């Protein structure tokens, strides 16, 4: 894979006192400030219902905050027109909890879809897509459609689709939630390889403390609508919440 030459120390993501509410007494996030450095790998943890998925949606520009400012790649997105967000979104690969695969496409076609959308010819990307699917354990499922795939297999296709364009930022919402520990380790190594070799910034929301413990990297904890940075969870206390 080609090494990426970064020329800016501008944070990839910057949230300044961001809030999001669905009414006067329904604050999901309140006064959230954080920065992700280029080339960093960060886990976002917190109890169920804390708003992790909402925070990720702000990070990949699917939602706008009701207070504060969200900057991506040095660009203040808060008041940008929707059409002006598209170039920024193309620099982000997203792994969704619900997979979002197209039922009429094969595993190979789903994984290759971002490259097709970008107008690339299949001859240029076919070998790379097949190699990626083999790496995530789907080398024998290239022609399978989503209806015939298990939940774990669908998740692996979704991850392959998110990383196939080698984005500047990867955002993953519980990427190991539907796979066993061995596959979870393999998928983590894929994220880590992209992070290290291409300097891709990675943000992963997870309940998987074992994964966080192995990674020994930056950890953000979301609770009560606010984010705090905590030490890498090399040895979390028994029974400690995510």
- Of 46, 96, 49, the C-alpha closest to 227 is 46
Instruction: Report helix, strand or coil for 208.
Output: coil
Successive 10-residue mean pLDDT values, the chain, 242 residues: 51 94 82 92 90 93 94 93 92 90 97 94 96 92 96 90 92 85 82 85 90 84 87 52 40
**Ranges of each domain in the chain:** 105-160
Q: Give the HSE-up count for residue 171: Cα atoms under 13 Å, Cβ half-sphere.
A: 21
Count of beta carbons in the 10 Å neighbourhood of residue 147: 9
d(CA 63, CA 184): 29
pLDDT at 8: 58
pLDDT at 242: 39
62: Cβ contacts below 8 Å, ≥ 6 apart: none
pLDDT at 233: 59
d(CA 200, CA 192): 9
CA distances from 143 to 122, 139, 149 (A): 15, 10, 11
> Cβ distance 104 to 184 under 8 Å?
no
d(CA 210, CA 208): 5
> Cβ distance 182 to 199 under 8 Å?
no
- Helix then strand count (H, E) for the chain reads 7, 10
Token pair listed for 44: 């976002």
Token pair listed for 235: 């040895």
pLDDT at 166: 87
d(CA 45, CA 222): 6
Token pair listed for 99: 């997979």
Whole-prediction pTM: 0.85
């Amino acid at each position: 894979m080609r090494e990426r030459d970064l020329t800016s120390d501008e944070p990839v993501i910057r949230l300044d006192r961001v809030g999001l509410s669905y009414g006067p007494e329904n604050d999901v996030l309140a006064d959230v400030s954080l920065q992700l450095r280029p080339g960093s790998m960060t886990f976002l943890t917190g109890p169920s219902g804390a708003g992790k998925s909402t925070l990720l949606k702000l990070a990949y520009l699917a939602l706008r905050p009701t207070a504060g400012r969200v900057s991506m790649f040095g660009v203040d997105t808060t008041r940008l027109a929707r059409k002006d967000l598209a170039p920024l979104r193309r620099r982000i690969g997203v792994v969704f909890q619900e997979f979002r695969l197209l039922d009429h496409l094969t595993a190979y076609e789903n994984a290759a879809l971002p490259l097709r959308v970008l107008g690339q010819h299949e001859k240029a990307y076919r070998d790379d897509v097949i190699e990626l699917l083999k790496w995530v354990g789907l080398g024998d499922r290239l022609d399978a459609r989503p209806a015939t795939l298990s939940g774990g297999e669908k998740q692996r296709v979704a991850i392959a689709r998110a990383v196939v364009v080698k984005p500047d930022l990867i955002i993953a919402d519980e990427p190991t939630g539907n796979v066993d520990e061995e596959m979870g380790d393999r998928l983590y190594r894929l994220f880590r390889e992209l992070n290290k070799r291409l300097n891709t910034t990675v943000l992963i929301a997870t309940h998987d403390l074992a994964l966080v413990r192995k990674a020994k990297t930056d950890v953000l904890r979301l609770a009560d609508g606010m984010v705090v940075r905590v030490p890498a969870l090399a040895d979390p206390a028994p029974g400690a919440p995510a």
